[in-house]
Amino acid sequence: MFFASDNAGPVHPKAIEALSAANQGHALAYGADPLTEAVTARIRDLFEAPRASVHLVATGTAANSLLLATLTSPWQTVFCTRMAHINEDECNAPEFFSGGAKLTLVADDDARMRPEALKAAIEGEETRGVHGPQRGPVSITQVTERGTVYGLDQIRAITDVARHYRLKTHLDGARFANAIVALGCSPAEMTWKAGIDAVSFGGTKNGLMGVEACILFEPDAAWELELRRKRAAHLFSKHRYLAAQMQAFLTDNLWRDMATTANARSARLARGLAAAPQVRIDFPVEANIIFAHWPRATHKRLQDAGAAYYVMGVPDDQGDTDEPLQARLVCDWSTTEAEVDRFLTILAG
């Protein structure tokens, strides 16, 4: 019963097999190998973007930070929500890699940026001449950090505002596949066709060992991103091992199948939680993340039985047993129906 994070899930056997297959003989380093070239072409095909520049890195923080640094000057600000991953969970890495650009926080509904709030935030900058930050790109997280998903019209509403002010939009797609499955759309429809300029196409949370693709749909800044990746120590010499994982990911729609399983297990869990009288679900459950409150005593019963998940806020174990505490539960490709059902049985007491 492991619901702590999709980061903690196992690597899919097909990715391990692909790594083993790539581990034969020698290959040119730093991405000059045939496997990287083939994977780059497949990603371009997947996104219907033959001119896109594709750059593999090992972590989501690197993908987001290097893309945003490429899109942002040090004197600019990035517009994002308070709940954006780049604000909550990346230890100021976007600010660091951009050379000091700041983040301007935009109001949200269920962690989704509000277009009218974005407009107000943009107009609130570049008001102090040389003394204040200049307007930079917009960044949205899809799936959001609260498990909600931007619809295609919602993405377009955000990018329309950004383009009105001649700003670019970055999409943090650590859970990109989960969002695609939730929306039933294509990668192109959720990105460049909706006005997105750059995307982090995540694999680590969706069954891979550690690889993310930085994608720029207009390749004008491709060389700058290459230089930033090298300077930031994120250019792998044995690059074929990143490419091998992504090759398995893209073969026979494995990326989509794993996300489909994770979303389905989350939906099953959410249905059971919604039926429990002591549970309050906090945000719409639209992909593979659930936030919900239930009593401290129920948390203890679940955790004593071996359930692993996060109780938000690190509460004192000695508090009121009836006090409702918030849980975050995340399903991954390996989560089974049996795990979900056992969890719900224990929760019911």
Q: What is the pLDDT of residues 99-122, one digit of tens each?
A: 999 999 999 999 999 999 999 999
Split at pLDDT 50, 70, 90, the class of 322 is confident
Predicted local distance difference test score (pLDDT) of residue 314: 66
Query: What's the rounded mean pLDDT across residues 10-32?
Result: 96
Does 1.10.1200.10 match the CATH number of domain 255-348? no
Class of the CATH-defined domain 12-253: alpha beta
Omega prior to 143 cis, within 30 of 0: yes
Predicted local distance difference test score (pLDDT) of residue 184: 98
Give me Rg for the CA atoms of the chain: 21
Give the separation between CA 5 and CA 331, rounded to whole angstroms.
Answer: 7
Query: Is a pLDDT exceeding 90 seen at residue 318?
Result: no
Give the separation between CA 196 and CA 174, rounded to whole angstroms.
Answer: 15
Helices within 165-239 (DSSP H only)? 176-183, 187-190, 222-231
* Closest CA relative to residue 195, chosen from 138, 121, 256: 138
Give the separation between CA 43 and CA 31, rounded to whole angstroms.
Answer: 15
Q: What is the pLDDT of residues 144-171, one digit of tens each?
A: 999 999 999 999 999 999 999 999 999 9
- The helix/strand count (H/E) of the chain reads as 14, 13
N-terminal to C-terminal alpha carbon distance within the chain:
16
Q: What is the pLDDT of residues 271-297, one digit of tens each?
A: 999 999 999 999 999 999 999 999 999
Q: What is the pLDDT of residues 52-87, one digit of tens each?
A: 999 999 999 999 999 999 999 999 999 999 999 999
Q: Tell me the one-letter amino acid at 92.
A: N
Q: What is the pLDDT of residues 24-42, one digit of tens each?
A: 999 999 999 999 999 999 9
- Vertex 217, ends 215 and 223: CA angle to 5°? 70
Predicted local distance difference test score (pLDDT) of residue 148: 98
Under 8 Å between Cβ of 213 and 15: no
Burial class for 161, CB neighbours closer than 10 Å (0-12, 13-18, 19+): buried
How do the domains of the chain map onto residue ranges? 12-253, 255-348
Query: What's the rounded mean pLDDT across residues 39-46?
Result: 98
Predicted local distance difference test score (pLDDT) of residue 315: 63
Query: What's the rounded mean pLDDT across residues 140-145?
Result: 97
Split at pLDDT 50, 70, 90, the class of 349 is confident
* Closest CA relative to residue 19, chosen from 253, 240, 255, 258: 240
Query: What's the rounded mean pLDDT across residues 3-32?
Result: 96
Mean pLDDT of the chain: 96
Tokens 């780049």 belong to residue: 86
Query: Is a pLDDT exceeding 80 seen at residue 306?
Result: yes
Query: Is a pLDDT exceeding 90 seen at residue 313?
Result: no
Query: Is a pLDDT exceeding 80 seen at residue 316?
Result: no
Split at pLDDT 50, 70, 90, the class of 134 is very high
Give the separation between CA 319 and CA 297, rounded to whole angstroms.
Answer: 10
